[in-house]
Structure 1
Amino acid sequence: MCSDTPTIRTSEHLFVDLSKLERKLRGCLETSFEGVGWTSNAKTITETWLRDGLKPRCITRDLKWGTPVPLEGFTDKVFYVWFDAPIGYLSITANYTSQWQKWWKNPNEVQLYNFMAKDNVPFHSVVFPSCLLGTDDHYTIVNHLNATEYLNYEDGKFSKSRGVGVFGDHAAQTKIDPDIWRFYLLYMRPEGQDTHFSWADFMLKNNSELLNNLVNFINRSLKFVSNAYNRVVPDLVLTGVDVQLLALVNRELAGYRNDMDKIKIRDALRRILNISRLGNQYLQENQPWKLIKGSAGDKLRAGSVTSVAANISCLLSILIHPYMPHTSQVIQQQINYPSDGNMIPDSITRMLPSGHTINQPAPLFRKLEEAEISEYKSKFAGRQEKKPDPPIMNGNLEDEVSKQGLIVRELKAAKADKDKITREVAKLLELKKKLAISKGENPVEKKKGKKKK
Structure 2
Amino acid sequence: MSFQPTSHFDPGLNLFKTETMAAHLTPREPVLPDPGKRNILITSALPYVNNVPHLGNIIGSVLSADTFARYSRARGFNSLYIGSTDEYGTTIEARALVENCTPQELCDKYYAIHAAVYKWFNISFDIFGRTTTPLQTEITQDIFLKLKDNGFLEERMTTQLYCEQHHSFLADRFVEGECPDCGYVDARGDLCGKLLQSLELIRPRCKVDGSVPVTKETKHIFLELDKLQPEVEAFFQESAVKGAWSSNGTSITAAWLKEGLQPRSITRDLKWGTPVPTSLEGYEEKVIYSWFDACIGYVSITANYTDQWEKWWRSPDDVQLYQFMGKDNVVYHSIIFSATKIGTHEPWTKFHHLSTTDYLT
With normalisation by structure 1, the TM-score equals 0.32
Structure holding more helix per residue: 1
Structure holding more strand per residue: 2
